[in-house]
Every structure is written in structure tokens, then in C-alpha cells.
Chain A
Amino acid sequence: MSLTKIGFSDLVRRQYLFKLRAYSGVFTTLMVLQALGILFSVLGGNSSGTWSTKVEITVSFYSAEQVIMFTMLWIFISAILITTKAYREDDFTFVTNRKSNNLANGLFLITASLIGGLTSYLSGFLIKVIMRFFNGNYLAVSGLPSTWFELFSGIVALLLLMLLLSMLGYLIGNIVQLHKVFIVLLPVLFIGFLSLANNLGDGKLGTNIFSFYFAEASILIFTVKVITTSTLLFIFSLIISSRQEVRL
């Protein structure tokens, strides 16, 4: 029994700081995956070509998309893994409850999303600088945001996307912790849902869900949609987590 009484917010803060140390391996994985993404982007940039009687053009185009995709998978998997037993055991170092633990996890995932989003965005410049010094071909500049607003919107959207995926991963992780049968059931349900979405309304359901986020041209509305969805996913995680068995 602890004789020291600490407030709830202080408990969450301490747990959050502890998790930053205990889950540092998550960031090692981020760096390894991003290094792989940068390597793949530089060595295997996509290329396309076309020709006529007059000219043959081959274009090699480079972007940080592979790094962004790897980072999206990273945050999704990280969010699932921090709900697993190995990580949960660490939480019992503290006098804690489900709520403070989940909030600390949420803060950790927000931090991880920020770090992942920013580094994946900045990795695009590393790729461009590498190409600058190691590729002497002519450069047709066409792949840079044309205004500061576009640049700002892109970075915000990238961070939000990471947050959304982290909350989705966290929910899935918590569902799987309810019963191991969900490890098989969730992918099956996912494929079943895709099939259903494809068949219902001439396949427009799936398209509509995708368009709800990715066809939204206003950064403000996109932000509201993603934050609302992420909050809902996190609330579901809290509810599911509270149904998990208690460790005695």
C-alpha cells in the first residue's frame, strides 16, 4: 500500500513519462523502418516512359510515399502491440487504474504520431537532397507543394492520419485482448466488410467511406472528421479495456 497520495493528472503524467522510457523500442523500430523506406525510395524510385518517332522520355519520380506508408504501418502496429500482455505487465509497476493507463497510452500514441508524422514528412527532403548529389539527370520540378497553405495542410493531415491509425490500432489491440479468437475473427470481418461494402449500393459504400476522409478538400473539415473519429475510437477502446479481466 502506498502512503503517498498523488492526483489523477499527476498519475497520468508519470505513467506517460514512464511509457516514453519503457516503450523506447517503438522509436528504434520507427527509425529502422524509415531508413528502409528511404533506401527503397532512393534505389527503387518509380519510373515510367513513353516514346514516339521523335523522342523517348523516361521519368524517374521520387517521393517520401514509401516512408509514409511504412510509418503508417508502424504506428498501427505499435498501437496494437502496446495493448499486449508484455507491455501491460509494465503498467503494474505503478499504482494505476484502467483509465489512467489508457490516458497515458493515448498520450504516448499522440506523441508517437507526432514524431512519426514529422519524421516521415522531413524524410522527403533527405530523399531530395540525396538525389541532388547523386543523380545528375535533368530535373523537372513538379512535386512540391505550390503554396505555404498546401504545405501546412499536408503536414497537419499527415499528423492526423497517423493519429487516426494509432487509435484504430489501439482499438483493435484492445478487442484482441478481450479474446484471442479476435486475432482470426477481425481479419475475416475486415474482408467480409470489404466484400459487403463492395456489393452494397454498387460498391459505393466502400468508396463513400474512403471519400469521407480522402476526398475532403477542406483541411478544417478533415481535421474535425479525423479528430472526432479518433476520439470515438479511443472511447470505444476505454469501454472495451474496462471489460478486461483484473490482475490480482
Chain B
Amino acid sequence: MIAILPIFIMLLIIGILIMLYRIIIISNRKFITSNQVYVILSGYFILLLVSLGIFIVNPYPESSVLSEKLDTENIPGMYSMFYDVTEEGIPIDEFEDYKENEWKFEFSGETLQLQFSGDETYDLPIIIQRKGLMDETLEVVVYSSPSSVGNIDLSSMIRPSEVRLLGGNVLEINEPSNSIDVVSFKQEFIFNQFSKDANEDEVFFGPRIEIGESLVYIRIPNGVQIDAVDYLEIEYVN
């Protein structure tokens, strides 16, 4: 079944444009001579050429242009990484490239309370590994996947996660809110048709957005109990 509504809307738009067209033509005949029309058209053309000149001679300042490209095809999402480590048994060291930051704290308590300061509506994946009895340190590593728009890396605009040990037994994981507004130019559909790098989805929906996610990996001394709010997605590995 074909969708009649878009066709109807298209015919309606054509009808409205024809009416608009006739109004302009009638006004044109009354108020402007053909010579004046061509003078205005030449002015318009010059304005467009000047825009092209400005665009070439005075491009966007480098400080406001992001141009570092990423190969987003092979970057794992943090939830798939979470699954790989906890279910498939893949060592976390395999994901060294995505390490964002790491911390080490002295810890001698029996219970570690996990606190998350960030958007509570999303599960932050946390993997906990127990270490040997004699080791009285907490090791926290935050992994993160990069954010990108149309494969342009936005990492430089994102504040990294912070981890602190409060009062000796409260581990606070802070995900600062990063709100990024980006302007991007979508290549016109006709140019994509002959582009080798053209992505069909981008032609219709604009540049692809890859959103960065975090995963927290914590190594704790053996025997330490974990006390955490229930919206954190915690899994244990040996």
C-alpha cells in the first residue's frame, strides 16, 4: 500500500507554489521591468559568489573546528565490553586503548560503599574484581568510548569522569554532565551520489552520532563487601 498522504502533501505544496508563483508574476509585471529583474538577479548572483569567496578566504577559525576523524566501526560499546568481560571471560587488559583514567586508594575497611553522581536513569556498568587478601588498595579504572559526529572526534570537548574516596569507605564515581552542541554541515544528497565515502543513512538523516559511554572496573581486596545503590549494574569477575 502506498502512502497517499505524502503524495497529497506534495501536490498541495505544488498547488500553493503555483498560486505564489502567479502572485509574484503579476506583481512582477506591475512593478518591475525585465531589466530590473536581471539587475537584481545579477546582484543576487554576486552575493552568492561573495559568500563563496568569504568561505574560501576566511574559513571557520581552527579553534572552533573539530576535524580529527575516528574509525568508529571498530570501537566497542561499553555495554558490549561489559558483556565480553563478565560473560565471555575476555581479560579487561584487551581494552587498554579505551582506558580514560585510573586511581589507586589505600583501603582497610570491610565494606565499600559505591556512590554515583550522575544521570541515575542510566545503568552505569561496573565490574568488580577481588584481589589477594594481603593487598589493601583499591584500584579504579574508568574506560570510555569516544563520542563522535559524522566520525569527527568530540573527545576534546568531554570532561572525564572523576573518582574519589570519601571518609575512608565511600567511593564516589562522578560523571560530570557534558552537554555538547555541535553545528555540522550535511552534504547535499546530490553530492553523496558520486561520493565513495557516502553513507546512505547520512544522506537522509544527517551525520551519524556515536555517543560515548563509560565502564568502571574496580579491583578490591578480597573479603570486602560492596554496598551500592540498585541502579548501578554491578558484576563480579575473578
Instruction: Enumerate chain B residues within 8 angstroms of A33, measured Cβ to Cβ.
Output: 17
B186 touches A65 (CB 8 A): yes
* A119 vs B2: C-alpha distance when bound (angstroms): 34
* A121 vs B52: C-alpha distance when bound (angstroms): 10
* A124 vs B212: C-alpha distance when bound (angstroms): 31
Q: Does A231 contact B (CB under 8 A)?
A: no
A32 touches B24 (CB 8 A): yes
Instruction: Enumerate chain B residues within 8 angstroms of A124, measured Cβ to Cβ.
Output: 188
Q: Does B206 contact A (CB under 8 A)?
A: yes
Instruction: Enumerate chain A residues within 8 angstroms of B65, measured Cβ to Cβ.
Output: 138-139, 141
Instruction: Enumerate chain A residues within 8 angstroms of B207, measured Cβ to Cβ.
Output: 59, 61, 140, 142-143
* A4 vs B82: C-alpha distance when bound (angstroms): 89
List which A124-166 residues lie within 8 A (CB) of chain B. 124-126, 128-129, 131-132, 135-146, 149-151, 153-154, 157-158, 161
* A144 vs B198: C-alpha distance when bound (angstroms): 11
Q: Does A233 contact B (CB under 8 A)?
A: no
List which B190-217 residues lie within 8 A (CB) of chain A. 190-191, 193-195, 197, 205-207, 209, 211-214
Which stretch in B87-95, B101-109, B176-184, B219-227 binds the other chain?
Answer: B176-184
Residue of B nearest to A160 (CB): B190
User: With A48-B205, A54-B175 given, is the CB distance from A126 to B28 under 8 Å?
Assistant: no
List which B159-190 residues lie within 8 A (CB) of chain A. 161, 175, 177-190
Instruction: Enumerate chain B residues within 8 angstroms of A51, measured Cβ to Cβ.
Output: 119, 211
Which stretch in A5-13, A21-29, A99-107, A239-247 binds the other chain?
Answer: A21-29
A56 touches B52 (CB 8 A): no
List which B1-58 residues lie within 8 A (CB) of chain A. 1-2, 4, 7, 11, 13-14, 17-18, 20-21, 24-25, 28-29, 32, 34, 37-38, 40-41, 44-45, 47-49, 51-52, 54-55, 58
* A149 vs B37: C-alpha distance when bound (angstroms): 34
Smallest distance from the beta carbon of A179 to chain B beta carbons, Å?
Answer: 19
Among A22, A136, A150, chain B packs the most CB atoms within 10 A around the CB of A150
B37 touches A25 (CB 8 A): yes
Report the count of interface residues on B (CB-CB < 8 A): 78
Q: Does A43 contact B (CB under 8 A)?
A: no
Q: Which of A25, A31, A61 contacts B186 (CB 8 A)?
A: A61
B1 touches A138 (CB 8 A): no
Instruction: Enumerate chain B residues within 8 angstroms of A216, measured Cβ to Cβ.
Output: 193
User: With A28-B32, A142-B152 given, is the CB distance from A57 to B2 under 8 Å?
Assistant: no
Q: Which of A27, A131, A194 contacts B7 (CB 8 A)?
A: A194
A63 touches B41 (CB 8 A): no
A126 touches B175 (CB 8 A): no
Residue of A nearest to B52 (CB): A125
Q: Does A187 contact B (CB under 8 A)?
A: yes
* A85 vs B161: C-alpha distance when bound (angstroms): 71
Q: Does A208 contact B (CB under 8 A)?
A: no
Instruction: Enumerate chain B residues within 8 angstroms of A20, measured Cβ to Cβ.
Output: 34
Instruction: Enumerate chain B residues within 8 angstroms of A61, measured Cβ to Cβ.
Output: 183-186, 206-207
Among A65, A122, A143, A219, chain B packs the most CB atoms within 10 A around the CB of A143
Q: Does B124 contact A (CB under 8 A)?
A: yes
Spell out A's residues near B (CB within 8 Å). Answer: 20-22, 24-34, 46, 48-65, 68, 73-74, 76-78, 81, 115, 118-119, 122-126, 128-129, 131-132, 135-146, 149-151, 153-154, 157-158, 161, 187, 190-191, 194-195, 198, 214-219, 222
Q: Could you pull out 18 A-B pairs where Cβ atoms are within 8 angstroms?
A: A27-B38, A29-B20, A48-B206, A53-B122, A57-B180, A57-B211, A58-B182, A73-B14, A76-B14, A119-B44, A138-B181, A140-B66, A142-B184, A145-B187, A153-B194, A157-B190, A215-B193, A217-B193
